[in-house]
Amino acid sequence: MLVVSDLDGTLLDHHTYSFEPAKQALTELAHRNIPVVLNTSKTRTELVQILSDLQLTTPYIVENGSAIYSADGQQCDVLGKPREVLLKALDQAREQGFSFQSYRDFGLAGVIEHTGLDQAAAEASLAREFTEPLIWKGSAKQRSSFVHWIQAQGLQCLEGGRFLHVMGRCDKGVAMQRLIKTYYPENEGPVVALGDSDNDTAMLARANIAVCIRPASGERLAPATRGTIIHTEAFGPEGWAEALNDILKNR
């Protein structure tokens, strides 16, 4: 068995970023030698700190499936597009009259304001390599034309719990399968994936057990999968522990 997890709103509380309620389930997984792989829209710099806080030594996926890093960070498999390409496209989008504010515009103070991260975590979040998160400032209709315009540039938009991410044509699902093939080819038993937002559906759709964590806002996810779907009652890390304890009880 292998556990692949999103972070914000899933293993980490959407508001406080705490994983306290999931600690006991994490310890139980470690006792049973079940690997926990992180698959997030966060950056590599953010992940290095979070892996250490969670005492995990597993390979990981950053920036919405844009890159897979080995546990020691020495090997990197890139699936996404460099951020410079995205920023150039966003310059052109502005010239077309689209209205948004992205990480580049926020700077450190803006990231802290929008996310509630502390200064060190916000700095780590600004160290982006492959994605540009933004907040839409126009109408819903303009937003939909923007999404189409971005697609016409060979890029795509994916929705996280807080931001719309402009990025290359990769996702957490493809990256998860590539990571398993590379690092866990001998895995036996189900792949359990846990997520709460739209950017998690591609990963949930490819798992044997898709755990849809109750989202802090918006609708519950409904991934198109032939696997088992579990919807948690609790939010964030409480929901994470609820689902994993249930799955482990039956194994």
Ligand X SMILES: O=C(O)[C@@H](COP(=O)(O)O)O[C@H]1O[C@H](CO)[C@@H](O)[C@H](O)[C@H]1O
Residue numbers at the binding site for ligand X (CB under 6 A): 6-9, 40-43, 46, 115, 117, 125, 133, 160-163, 197, 199
Residue placing its CB nearer to ligand X in the complex, 118 or 246: 118
In terms of Cβ atoms closer than 10 Å to its own Cβ (0-12, 13-18, 19+), residue 181 is exposed
Q: Which residues contact 4 (CB under 8 A, 6 or more apart)?
A: 36, 37, 39, 176, 179, 191, 192, 193, 194, 203, 207
Smallest distance, ligand X to C-beta of residue 199, A = 6
Smallest distance, ligand X to C-beta of residue 56, A = 14
Closest CA to 35 of 3, 68, 10, 11: 3
Handedness of CA 64, 18, 52, 56 (dihedral sign): negative
Output the residue with the shortest Cβ distance to ligand X: 160
Residue placing its CB nearer to ligand X in the complex, 82 or 97: 82
Residue placing its CB nearer to ligand X in the complex, 35 or 133: 133
- Residue at token pair 């995990």: 56
Smallest distance, ligand X to C-beta of residue 183, A = 20
Residue placing its CB nearer to ligand X in the complex, 8 or 129: 8
Smallest distance, ligand X to C-beta of residue 210, A = 15
Phi, psi angles (nearest 5°) of residue 196: -130, -10
Smallest distance, ligand X to C-beta of residue 134, A = 10
Phi, psi angles (nearest 5°) of residue 213: -75, 140
Residue placing its CB nearer to ligand X in the complex, 58 or 199: 199
237 within 8 A of 16, measured Cβ to Cβ:
no
Q: β-strand 131-136 against 100-102: which pairing, if any?
A: antiparallel
7 within 8 A of 38, measured Cβ to Cβ:
yes
Residue placing its CB nearer to ligand X in the complex, 189 or 218: 218
Query: Where do the H-state alpha helices sit in 118-193?
Result: 119-126, 140-152, 172-183
Smallest distance, ligand X to C-beta of residue 153, A = 20
Smallest distance, ligand X to C-beta of residue 40, A = 4
Residue placing its CB nearer to ligand X in the complex, 9 or 21: 9
SS3 4: strand
